[in-house]
Structure 1
């Protein structure tokens, strides 16, 4: 069975979800060959890059032949994807002459749990510090929050690997970091201990204080709740989570964390987390950093 998947013009994960659902359902059957067609592409966001990358990798690892077509090399979108190392990751080489990572991005990368903490400390955080001019020691909480996402992937994904891509928007002094995995999904993990919650409510429960779906939880009180409280509560940012058929957005409203739940239009295998924050909201200190208690 061969499938051609025409990607939408808006290359964001929510725009790709219905295309994935219509093409693959819930991935109960894997086609022998899939061609992703890019000719409609007009706009790219980090969430689209990591989500499609994970889908393509999953299909390939499941024995499917994955190809890409319709890439118009003269367009800004394809050049951006190429500079982000999307095609190098999936076909082994860049497709545009002179392609190279941009200073405003941390290129697409697949990171295993055992590599994640060192990579965050040695690569992502120094890049973000240089881009934002926020000292590395004041980005410690950001590093801790993203580390917890990889802990969550390790706990709940059979692949034990996540894709990550980050983009810095200098005129807005804003960064978006997208992380995606192809695991069982947050709702399924939560339902192992909470019963039959809907997908959006299960995602919300995963971000409650001291919640864990593990029988002997590690880092109780430091997990996804800390991601929400730091990025949204302290830094005034936004965290958006898509998993299976549900989605939750945590946003700062008048100094408090506001939660919005909704159903996904389409299907999101695994979990996709978007972290968006303004680095102007991060307090610059003299180097002393807050300590966490690990139980």
Structure 2
């Protein structure tokens, strides 16, 4: 039987969000993007306050990245009786399938509450268009009581483009997707643990920081030309068609780069203290502002 004392304990922050996740990453990933430890015990008992929707993708991405890089990952869980509150982050993780994916089983027999979520999905990006057509779009239609494919076609175009970019540039075929609907907006996160946007940008612009590299990737017409299909009409279109019309925002984390774009504010560009293992694109889409095509039946006249 293996001795758990061989494992380095990594406590999860009590509030797991886009701000605290970099302290977590600094304990598992070095500056060169390699695992710091070969055996890790994730301490879930310290996660007591809150985990935001993007944090759920982050956590699955981090555990998947460690396992893909040969790290033996165990978890130290609290007693289920101490997680009685419906809002407890451990109950939230269980409700959205995190433990089912990570451990192969749920911790609780029944969900704590009826959440309006697209459950956490570990997705092969080669299957992404089937996922988009049969799972993601029907779920959004259900939340918004609309036909988003015809009334807001930019949604399908943009998320198809995201899946294309990940498949073509990340170097991996697997990532995670999670979404949650609130009263007048929904949050959707797509994450992979591939090589990262800055890695590819520096093939053509070697002296850029990670934040600058993401900004370059957002410029219309920019291309790393890593595949014949990549001709630079990707991320800038995503920003223009999702953040702009809805009044929402798009935030990109990739390696040490951080870029946040919104309809109303100037882009925020930063270089973080620790690298994100791959890329996460985090959307806030304000549902009250979606510019609908009113008559979806008319089509085109030739």
Structure-2-length-normalised TM-score = 0.87
Q: Say which of 274, 283, 286 aligns to 1:278.
A: 286
**Contact 1:36/1:67 (<8 A) preserved:** yes
Per-residue CA deviation, residues 121-175 of structure 1 (Å, 9 max, x unaligned), is 11111111111223222242112212222211112222222111001012xx101
Q: Retained in 2: the 8 A contact 1:73–1:96?
A: no
* Corresponding residue SS for 2:194: coil
Name 1:130's counterpart in structure 2: 142
Residue 70 of structure 1: CA displacement? Answer: 3.2
* Structure ID, larger Rg: 2
Alpha-carbon distance between aligned partners in 2 of 1:210 and 1:189, rounded to the nearest angstrom: 15
Distance 1:196 1:10 in 2: 35
1:120 and 2:127 are equivalent in the alignment? no
Residue ranges of structure 1 left out of the alignment (5+ in a row): none
Residue 12 of structure 2 contacts residue 42 of structure 2 at CA under 8 Å; is this kept in 1?
yes
| 1:31 counterpart residue number | 37
Does residue 245 of structure 2 align to residue 250 of structure 1?
no
What residue is the counterpart of 2:271 in the other structure?
A: 263
The one of 192, 206, 214 aligned to 2:203: 192
Q: Which one is further off, 35-44 or 78-87?
A: 35-44
Look up the match of 2:77. Answer: 70
Residues 174-216 of structure 1 show CA distances to partners (whole Å, capped at 9, x for unaligned) of: 0110111111111111111122111111101101112221255
Tell me, in whole angstroms, the C-alpha distance in 2 between the residues paired with 1:215 and 1:95.
43
Contact 2:29 2:274 (8 Å CA) reproduced: no
Q: How does 1:174-253 map to 2 (within 5 A)?
A: 174-215=185-226, 217-218=228-229, 220=231, 222-253=233-264
Structure 2 portions without partners, runs of 5+: 1-5
Is contact 1:165-1:178 (8 Å) kept?
Answer: yes
> Is 1:85 paired with 2:97?
yes
CA distance, structure 1, for counterparts of residue 206 and residue 197 of structure 2: 13
CA distance in 2, matches of 1:69, 1:119: 33
2: CA distance, partners of 1:134 / 1:203: 33
Q: Deviations over 1:34-81 (max 9, x none)?
A: 111122221111211111101111222333322222334324211111
Q: What is the rounded CA distance, in whole Å, between the counterparts of 1:74 and 1:280 in structure 2? A: 34
Q: 1:119 to 1:139 in 2, by over 3 A?
A: farther
Task: Name the count of aligned residue pairs.
Answer: 286
Aligned residues of 2:246 and 2:289 also touching (Cα < 8 A): yes
Match of 1:141 in 2: 154
